[in-house]
Amino acid sequence: MAMGTVLAWTILLPLVGGVAIALIPQSGSKFARPVALLVTGVVLAMATWLWISFNPADPGMQFEIVRDWVPGLGTAFHLGVDGLSLPMLFLTAFLSLLAVIASARISEFTREYFTLILLLEAGLIGVFIALDLILFYVFWEVVLIPMFFLINIWGGPRRRYAAIKFFLYTLAGSLAMLGGIISLFLATGAQTFDMIALAPQAARLSLAAQTAIFTAIAFALAIKVPMVPLHTWLPDAHVEAPTAVSVLLAGVLLKMGSYGFLRFGPQLLPDGFERLVPLIALLGVVSIVYGAACALVQTDLKKLIAYSSVSHMGYVMLGIAAGTAAGVLGASVQMFSHGLIAGMAFLLVGAYYERAHTREISAFGGTARVAPILAGTLVFMSFASLGLPGMSGFIGEFMVVTGSFGPFTTYSAIAAFAVVLTAGYLLWMLRRVVFGQLNEARADMPDMTRTEAAAIFPLCIATLCIGVFPQVLVGVMEASVESVAKILGA
Amino acid sequence: MNTLPVLSIVALTPLAAAILIGAFGRGTQLPRVLALVAATICLAGSAWVWATYDRAAGGVQFVESVRWIPSLGISYIVGVDGISVPMLALMALVMFTGVLVSWNVDERPRLFFALLLLLVTGVFGVFVSVDAFLLFFFYEMAVVPMYLLIAIWGSTHKDYAAMKLTLFLFAGSALITIALALVYWQVGASTFDLRIWAGANFPPGFQRWVFLLMFVGFGTLVPIWPLHTWSPDGHVAAPTAVSMMHAGVLLKIGAYGVLRLGMTLFPEGLRDWALLIAIIGAINVVYGALCAMNQTDLKYVIGYSSVSHMGYVLLGFAMIDKFGLQGAVFQMFAHGIMTALFFALIGYVYEKSHTRQIADISGLMSRTPLVAAAFVIASAASMGLPSTSGFVAELLVYVGIIGRSPLLAAIAFVGVVVTAAYLIRMLGKILLGEPSQAVERIVDPSPVRLAPMGILAITIMTVGIFPATMYQTINAGIEPLLTKLMGG
Amino acid sequence: MADPTVALTFLAPEIIVALTGALVLVIDLIWIRSTDAPNTPRPWLAYLSIAGLGLAAGAVIGLAGVQTTLFEGIVILDPLSTFFKLLFLAIGMIVLLISVDPLPGFSKWSAEFFALIVWCTLGNMLLASAAELFTIFLCLQLTSLPLIVLIGYAKRDPLSSEASLKYLLLVLVSTAVLLYGMTLVYGALGTSTISEIGKVLAEQRLTPVLALGLVLLLTGFGFKITAVPFQYWVPDVYEGAPSPVTAFLSVGSKFAGFALALRIIVTGLDIPLNWHLIFGVMAALSMTLGNLGALRQTNIKRMLAYSGIAQAGYLLVGLAALSEMGIASLLFYTAAYGFANLLAFTAVIVFANATGSYEISDYAGLARRAPLASFALTVALLSLGGLPLLAGFMAKFYVFLFAAQAGLIWLVAVGVVNSVIALYYYLRVIWQLYVPEGSLDPISVAPRAGLAMSVCAVGVFAIGVFPEPVLRASQMAASALFGG
């Protein structure tokens, strides 16, 4: 089988699986999760296969596959991966499987739930491997609908508000992006939406045109990342979303934005990107500090993690803005790493919530005594998150800070110091949740279950692996990152 | 060439069936079975046309020509090009599903199906006519059955709505009558053959005013703002199958007429009025969406959303370029299928719960996941979300608009956001939450009722995911028009 | 054209009709003398009349190719006269058919009724052929006098008597006006033959006397064709007259007026007046006032009366074009309108027989009680409204098409706007038939009425779908008028 076909099947299989689950009769609801497990498992296997077959030395696209779609419009079904997208593909497959595992407790509308999860997976993977602008946009939007329903149906008490807010924010962004994409198409006059074919012509566009187009697209991307001040949908969505959905939301969905910056910026509209770099860097740093500051004052465990995501994604943006090889590489690693860590964080918060039916930090305390494994994992997650060496978070943030030191010395310094804030809110959280006086209400809190462990431990292992052997990840990325950095450096 | 007069079969089978039902259709079983048979024949015929239309060659194909009223040069000429082929397919689908949706009509089924089929003949006829008189003939034929269908089987304010609708349509056709007479004498060849008309060169002043007549005449049906007020009322009052045809297909006749008798004949006229059309289109989009936002009745929501969506068709027309036109035609098809699905769904919900008030309905998802899923698909298409037919259509229109006027594009985008807002709110309210009292008795529909929803939903997805064939068909249709618009 | 016997051959249809009327009366007399039950219905008398008219129609068709003038130009045979004669005969036959079944309030129709209708028809036929002013006058009297009797036939019905009196007054006035006009014209020009008038007028300037004469002449016809401003008598007379007579008035008399007007105006009045404008304004006013009047009516006969005024307006649109094809479209319109209007009246009579009412509000739910008759009325009204598959659509389209050719765009615009108004009140009746719930007792339709409706409906559909034969006939008639 050609590897291009495998690539296509990473999208098709979840789609087919999703439809299949939807068609299971009511009486067979209990098979929904096993089928979903099977599907996500196979997708992960395919992603692994792709990873192994990937040629790390080649900076260009690999495993390409092209099929006609709307020929007259010059848009085709064009897929492919390079060093930037492969890790994202793998991350999506990985987290999707874990999300399914973690959804054991879904009892209402089981079939619908897993159908939507699989559709979400298909959309997410599609975004990362689409090489046609319209196709990219299609998947970008496809993500919207399952996410909306996942939050709206299985979410918390204010789910409606959160879901609609999420939807409208993202949709407004998408429209700007669509406008940008179409303008790009028209401005180049290339009669094609193919990213690869369009790239040389797009790069030749005037500075003004590039800036205008990139601004429109960046608006959409920035909402997804999210960058302050466009982040306000995120805490609401996170808080209301069910655990597994939060995992995908923080773990993968946000990466769509930063991935988009890498794809559209240096590779399509370098001049427009350069023009916006100061703003991106500034907002990146603001996100880092503001996110961390907000996290510091949260009393809700999930909101805290949500704001920490804002903060961590700020590093990614700073790295991308820096444009140096180290910066971009750091950003890419941070994307992957944050996917793992945020996934872990939300799974843990979910576990805590299920035990206490509250996410108020004050409702916990001393949980290490009654649930040592759970508490220990929370500690582990916090250390990964604040960038302890030997864990993946360290690699990413370190590289970003060093990579951005050249172009943005001040920002880099602020970002470095912001780690203190991060440490602050995390450690303070640990002190209140894990250590200290045992809260009486939590006296009989059970420890981690096997299902939870099955979902969380793989993430811990992956975090450690990358922390210890970063070359596994960096090796795949390096060639592509070099080529990006070269464009920006030139 | 094939010798089977497939277009005549498609257009006239419903008429024959209507006469048969009128003459012999006692009881409830016979009328609906006959109607279904006719619908199946039409569907098969349209599918045949769809499959065998030579997209590479383009132009008008499957032509049948019979002299009809030779002393005036009127002939029965039917044929299809790339614009009418999708319309034919649309109508066949909506007819087939419409008959299924009406399967359980128990009030005067004989009259109902006879009128329904008469209406269908009129609509099919419009899409296959290559003779302007014939086109107008079929167009007028559809009006009265529509009136009676709404007046007898309708709901809310049916008398008022039916009369309003009929008078508006008739007023529109009054303008068309004048325009046809003027063109006939201007051409001076004693013929109504559109192919000959299209080859004629009209002086610019003539083009300007006659185009306006055609545009307003057919535009009433589109419906263009501010002549749209009959449309939501009509949608709401009509019985389900009629709403489906009405919003799904009848509005397209308006756009189709503007395209065929307006733009194709008078490219100069189109250029003169393009700005006006664009402005009206933009108003349609935004105003329709804002009105939809304020509605509490499901059918009104969709009724106004139709006003909004047809605005994109107008915008596409006004752009006078390849993408705009492609998008407009694509949107005609996409909107037809999507609205038909909406009305089929609302009709089902109303039948079971006896309410269409959004406030009274909630928790459909838990009562009937299939209907809920179809609602989601229809809404996604309505919002122009990817992998639905609505996406491709709106994408093409946007490509057209952005190239011409970023300002209009921005306005259209506002329309999209508002559309998303009202649909999402509506979906959230009716699908989710605890089932309300009104929906207690709703269950998954029976196969006969499910089939139309399934067919329409699948069409939406199929066309959205594999738009290439549709695209090529439409492209074959607008190619000559485009040459004329660009060259002239 | 010397030989009078030949001339009589050419008048065979008229002679047959005259004899039929006489025969019916005579047979009836004999019957009454020879039977014990003089009051039993005698429908076969009607059938006899119909047969006579049928025979006459055969004769007209047999003479269709003849184009000639008789008696030194006072009678003319041409395709135009053939067209109208056939139309009048058809109308006569259908009216006789629907007169067989007596209306409520009448114990019977007697032989005089049938004979009078036959003679009225004769008058109309002669009018179609008349080509000289005083012949025209005589023929007009021949149609008018029987009508006065017919309108007042329902003696016990005060409305009927009142209508009869009104019509009598109208006839007196219009006759006087006409006669005065004819005298003035004759005095000014020295000839009364229409073709001669045309020739003389072409060489002469328009004097005030002559102008007055022409105006009076046209006024006389105006009453006949019920166009504005000569329409005031119409609603009351139509409402009061027995329904079959109303049906006859609404088509037969009106068309006779048009037959005359056409001949005189086209062949006679070749003078530099803006006929387009004069007839255009008359047409526009007739359509508009007729339709607006009809909007307010609650009685179906009055509504049809006003609608008839409006329809006269559409016919005048064809006249206003004053081109060969314009006249052809007018002729086509008469045929289409004739069938549709007779169909409507037949259905109205059927309903009146069953419900005893002409109020539209009493039509509620009739579609369930009498589906075929309701369908017939629907078809008739929709045809009058100008919807496709039906004769009215084609007719309106042709009229407007050729008015546009003559440059009368404004008139076409008035016409199409009026079509919309008209549709409103036609649809309202249809709505009454189909939508509200009413009694469910079935209404039986007499076979004769059923036959009449079938004939008319077939006519309406046939002209609507295959208009070519009628169109060709009307073109021939019109071209004869212009060419010959």
* Per-residue pLDDT tens over the stretch B46-61: 999 999 999 888 889 9
**Average pLDDT value for residue range B33-46:** 94
Mutate to test the interface with C, among B165, B178, B227 (most CBs of C within 10 A): B178
Q: Where are the domains of chain A?
A: 3-489
Burial class (CB in 10 A: 0-12, 13-18, 19+), B229: middle
The continuous run of DSSP H or E covering C76 comes out as: strand C75-77
Flag whether A touches C (3+ CB pairs, 8 A cutoff).
Answer: no
Residue of higher predicted confidence among B44 and C110: B44
Q: Nearest Cα to C150, choosing from C125, C171, C130, C176?
A: C171
**How much of chain C is helix, strand and coil, in % rounded to 5?**
80, 0, 20
List, for residues A196-210, the tens digit of each pLDDT value.
888 888 888 889 999
Q: Report the distance separating Cα B186 and Cα C394, nearest Å.
A: 20
Residue C1 has pLDDT above 80, yes or no: no
Q: Is B138 on the interface with C (CB under 8 A)?
A: yes
Q: Given CB atoms, is B153 within the 8 Å cutoff of chain C? A: no
Instruction: Tally DSSP H helices, then E strands, for chain A.
Output: 21, 2
CA dihedral B212, B218, B219, B223 (to 10 degrees): 170
Q: Which domain holds residue C310?
A: 274-484
Q: Are B387 and A142 a contacting pair at CB < 8 A?
A: yes
Count each helix (H run) and each strand (E run) in chain C, helices first.
21, 2
Which chain B residues are Cβ-neighbours of A171 within 8 angstroms? 383, 416-417, 420
Find the mean pLDDT for residues B238-259. 89
The SS3 of residue B64 is strand
Please, what's the largest Cα pairwise distance for chain C? 69
Q: Is C445 helix (H, G, I), strand (E, B) or coil?
A: coil
> Which of A171, A213, A217 is the best mutation test for B, with the most CBs of B within 10 A?
A171
pLDDT (average), residues C69-78: 85
C181, C220 Cβ separation under 8 angstroms: yes
CA distance A420 to A400: 16
pLDDT at position A3 over 80: yes
CA atoms of C250 and C476, how far apart (whole Å): 25
Nearest chain A alpha carbon to B392: A70
Which segments within C304-431 are labelled E, that is strand?
none
pLDDT in tens, C332-386: 999 999 999 999 999 999 998 888 889 999 888 888 888 889 999 999 999 999 8
Cα B379 from chain centroid (whole Å)? 17
| B143 vs A398: CA distance, rounded Å | 73
If we measure between CA atoms, which residue out of C249, C254, C337, C247 comes closest to residue C300?
A: C247
* C-alpha distances in Å from residue A301, one per residue of A307, A381, A415, C51, C175: 10, 14, 24, 103, 105
> What is the distance of C-alpha A215 from the center of its chain?
22
Alpha helices in C67-157 (DSSP H): 79-99, 111-129, 133-151
In a domain, C167, yes or no: no
What was the pLDDT predicted at C426? Answer: 93
Q: Is A70 in the B-facing interface, judged by CB distances under 8 Å?
A: yes
- In this predicted structure, the answer to whether residue A248 has a pLDDT above a threshold of 80 is yes
Task: Assess contact for B183 and C404: CB atoms under 8 A.
Answer: no
Q: In angstroms, rounded to a whole number, what is the distance separating the alpha carbons of residues A74 and A195?
A: 11
Chain B residues close to C479, C-beta within 8 Å: none
Distance CA A260, CA A217 (A): 9
CA–CA separation, C333 and C327 (whole Å): 10
Token reading at C38: 């003089």
Place B1 in a pLDDT band, splitting at 50, 70 and 90.
Answer: very low
Spatial contact of B331 and B388, defined as CB atoms under 8 Å apart: no
- Total domains present in chain C: 1
- The residues with which B74 forms a beta bridge, in sequence order, are B69
Cα C388 to Cα C463: distance, rounded to the nearest angstrom: 11
Q: Would you call B170 and C401 a contact, using CB atoms and an 8 Å cutoff?
A: no
Q: What secondary structure letter does DSSP report for B224?
A: P
% chain C with pLDDT above 70:
95
Q: Is this complex's ipTM strictly greater than 0.95?
A: no
Q: Residue A74: closest CA among chain B residues belongs to which residue?
A: B468
Chain C contact set for B166 (CB, 8 A): 423, 427
Whether C435 is in a domain gets the answer yes
Chain A residues near residue B376 by CB distance under 8 angstroms: 145, 149
More confident residue, A74 or A270: A270
Interchain CB distance below 8 Å, B425 and A164: yes
| Interface list for chain C against chain B, based on CB atoms closer than 8 Å | 382, 387-389, 393-394, 397-398, 400-401, 403-405, 409, 412-413, 416-417, 419-420, 423-424, 427-428, 430-431, 434-435, 467-468, 471-472, 475
Q: Which of B397, B399, B472 to mutate to probe the A interface, most A CBs <10 Å?
A: B399
Asked if residue A264 lies in contact with residue A296, where contact means CB atoms within 8 angstroms, the answer is no
pLDDT of residue A29: 83
Contact B369 A167 (CB under 8 A): no
Contacts of C417 in chain B (CB under 8 A): 171, 174
Among the listed residues A251, A241, A250, A236, the one whose alpha carbon sits nearest the alpha carbon of residue A113: A241
pLDDT at C37: 66
**pLDDT, tens digit, 9 for 90 and up, residues A8-62:** 999 999 999 998 998 888 888 888 899 999 999 999 999 999 999 998 888 888 8
Residue B131 has pLDDT above 90, yes or no: yes
pLDDT, tens only, A144-202: 888 988 888 888 888 888 888 888 888 888 888 988 988 888 888 878 888 888 888 88
Three-state DSSP at B55 gives coil
Q: Judge whether B342 and B422 are in contact, CB under 8 Å.
A: no
Average pLDDT over residues B133-139: 93
C191 confidence band (pLDDT: 50, 70, 90): confident
**pLDDT tens for each residue of B177-196:** 999 999 999 888 889 999 89
Q: Chain-centre distance of CA B479, in angstroms?
A: 22
Distances in Å between the Cα of B187 and the Cα atoms of A166, B192, B195, B217, B482 are 58, 9, 12, 20, 22
Q: What is the pLDDT of residues A337-385, one digit of tens each?
A: 999 999 999 999 999 988 888 888 888 888 888 888 999 999 999 999 9
Q: How far is CA A375 from CA A174, A457, B128, in A?
A: 40, 13, 73
Q: How many CA atoms lie within 13 A of B43 on its CB side?
A: 14
Residue owning tokens 């009685």: C299
CB of C214 within 8 A of CB of C185? yes
Amino acid, res. A329: L
Contact C405 B181 (CB under 8 A): yes
- Under 8 Å between Cβ of C131 and C71: no
CA C211 to chain B, closest CA, distance in angstroms equals: 35
Position C472 in a domain: yes
Which chains does B contact via 3+ CB–CB distances below 8 A?
A, C
Report the C-alpha gap between A351 and A346 in whole angstroms: 8
Cα–Cα distance, B96 to B40 (Å, whole number): 7
Question: What are the start-end ranges of the H helices in B25-131?
Answer: 29-52, 84-101, 109-128
- How far apart (Å, rounded) are the C-alpha atoms in residues C325 and C474? 9
The tokens of C184 are what?
């003035």
Which chain A residues are within 8 Å of B409, Cβ to Cβ? 179
> CB atoms < 10 A from the CB of A147, how many?
25
What is the four-CA torsion angle of B423, B429, B432, B435, rounded to 10 degrees? -140
Chains in touch with C (3+ beta-carbon pairs under 8 Å) read B
* Any domain includes C164: no
Mean pLDDT, rounded, of chain C: 88
What is residue A393's predicted lDDT score, i.e. its pLDDT?
86
CA distance C344 to C338: 10
Looking at CA atoms only, how far is residue B166 from chain C in angstroms?
Answer: 9
Question: pLDDT (tens digit, 9 = 90+) per residue, C46-69?
Answer: 899 999 999 999 999 988 888 888
- The pLDDT assigned to B39 comes to 95
Paired sense of beta strands A75-81 and C75-77, if any: unpaired
- Interface test mutation site (partner B, options A138, A143, A147, A186, max chain B beta carbons within 10 A): A138
Out of B323, B395, B468, the one facing A71 most closely (by C-beta) is: B468
Residues A464 and A381: their CA atoms lie apart, in Å, by: 11
Classify the C-alpha dihedral A282-A288-A289-A294 as positive or negative: positive
C371-381 in b/e burial notation, b at 16+ Cβ within 10 A?
A: bbbbbbbbbbb
pLDDT attached to residue C103: 61
Check contact C-B (3+ Cβ pairs < 8 Å): yes
- Residues of chain B contacting residue A127, judged by C-beta atoms under 8 Å apart: none
Q: Kindly tell me the sign of the dihedral angle through the C-alpha atoms of B363, B366, B368, B372.
A: positive
Span B190-214, mean pLDDT? 90
pLDDT at C184 over 80: yes
Q: What is the pLDDT of residue C106?
A: 57
Residue A89: which pLDDT band, with cuts at 50, 70 and 90? Answer: very high
SS (H, E, C) A288-325: HHHHHHHHHHCCEHHHHHHHHHHHHHHHHHHHHHHCCH
Q: How confident is the model at residue C40 (pLDDT cuts 50, 70, 90)?
A: low
Nearest CA in chain B to A76: B468
Nearest alpha carbon to residue C237 among C168, C330, C340, C324: C168
Over chain A, what is the mean pLDDT? 89
Which residues in chain B touch residue C412, judged by CB atoms under 8 angstroms apart? Answer: 177-178, 181
Q: Compare all CA atoms of chain B with the CA of C329 and give the residue at the minimum distance.
A: B72
**pLDDT at residue B488 greater than cutoff 70:** no
